[in-house]
Amino acid sequence: KNEFLDYKGQITDRNKLIEFYNRSKYLVVPSTYETFGLVYAEALSQGCKVIYTKGQGFDGWFSENKVGYKTDIKNLQEILEKAIKNYNPLEKQIIFEVKEKFNWKIIATEYSLLYKECLKNDII
The neighbour count for residue 10, using CB atoms within 10 Å, is 5
Q: In angstroms, rounded to a whole number, what is the distance separating the alpha carbons of residues 50 and 39? A: 9
Tell me if 22 is assigned to some domain. Answer: yes
Tell me if 34 is assigned to some domain. Answer: yes
CATH number reported for the structural domain that contains residue 70 in this entry: 3.40.50.2000
User: How do residues 22-76 score in pLDDT, each as one tens digit?
Assistant: 888 888 887 777 777 788 888 998 989 988 888 888 888 888 778 888 888 888 8
Tell me if 39 is assigned to some domain. Answer: yes
- The total domain count for the chain is 1
Q: Which residues contact residue 77 at a Cβ distance below 8 angstroms, ignoring those fewer than 6 apart?
A: none
Tell me if 27 is assigned to some domain. Answer: yes
Model confidence at 116, in pLDDT bands (50, 70, 90)?
very high
